[in-house]
Amino acid sequence: MSDIFQQALSNFVKNFGYGDAIRHLFRRGYSIDRILREFDYPYSREELEKIRRDMDKDQ
C-alpha cells in the first residue's frame, strides 16, 4: 500500500473509533489538557487542537 493510502486509512480508523468520543468530551467542556491527562486516546495535542478548531468552525 502507498504511504498516502496507509495514512488516510489510519486517520479514518482513529476518527471512526475515537472521534465522536473526543467531540463529546469537548462538548462537555473538557480541555485538551484534561483529555490528554485522563484518557489514553491515540491522538497528539496537535490532532486534538485540529478537532477542536473544526468543531468551532462548524458552530
Q: Cα 18 from chain centroid?
A: 7
pTM over 0.85: no
Look up residue 42 and give its three cell numbers: 491515540
Domain limits at 16?
3-58
pLDDT digits (tens, 9 = 90+) for 11-21: 888 888 899 99
Q: Cα–Cα distance between 48 and 41 in angstroms, integer?
A: 10
The pLDDT score that the predictor gives to residue 49 is 97
Number of domains, the chain: 1
Sign of CA dihedral 35, 36, 39, 41: positive
Question: For residue 1, is pLDDT > 70?
Answer: no
The pLDDT score that the predictor gives to residue 18 is 94
pLDDT digits (tens, 9 = 90+) for 12-53: 888 888 999 999 999 999 999 999 999 999 999 999 999 999
Q: Cα–Cα distance between 42 and 59 in angstroms, integer?
A: 25
Only one residue has cell 497528539, namely: 44
